[in-house]
Amino acid sequence: MGIAEDFPKAFAKSQVAAGVKLPKTGKVFVSVSDRDKHQIVLPIRRLWQMGFEILATSGTAKILGRQGIPTTEVTKFSEKSEGERSIVEMIADGEIDIVINTPSGGAARADGYEIRAATTASGKAIFTTTAQLAPAIASLEFIRESPFEVKSLQDYDRQRVR
């Protein structure tokens, strides 16, 4: 939970409370279901404009590339060949700062599980629905502009006018 005067700040605080560090720069990995591919173009473009490097699986990378967003294609966990690094290994090695993953279908679910497990274990930000992207990006913009403090509910209660 996060409490603030506006939603982006509250969302940022909720992520901190959940133990997620929202980065100001870095690498964003994107792998979304076919139904979500066109919905993520504008949010991913905004992240790229903010200076984030974009990495994606092949299908997502094609859509983003067609829209003029520079994207590095990475290997899915289920498609890894010997000697090749998968996105799961990159996440586990701390190379990825934000994960956006909305899988569907059997193989995608298996890949998605591995991606989400590695992301959670590394304490990185993960967003699993397209609805989360707008508030997440607004929160990233907020934390880049100003620091904020997190207060407990008890602190808020002490400040209330009685």
pLDDT per residue as tens digits for the range 13-27: 888 878 788 898 999
State the average pLDDT over residues 37-62: 95
Number of domains in the chain: 1
Which runs of E-coded beta strand occur in 14-81?
27-32, 53-56, 71-73
Summarize the confidence of residues 110-123 as an average pLDDT.
88
Q: pLDDT-based confidence at 100, cuts 50/70/90?
A: very high
Position 131 in a domain: yes
User: How much is the mean pLDDT over the chain?
Assistant: 87
Domain assignment of residue 83, given as a range = 25-146
Q: Is 154 inside a domain boundary? A: no
Radius of gyration of the chain (CA): 17
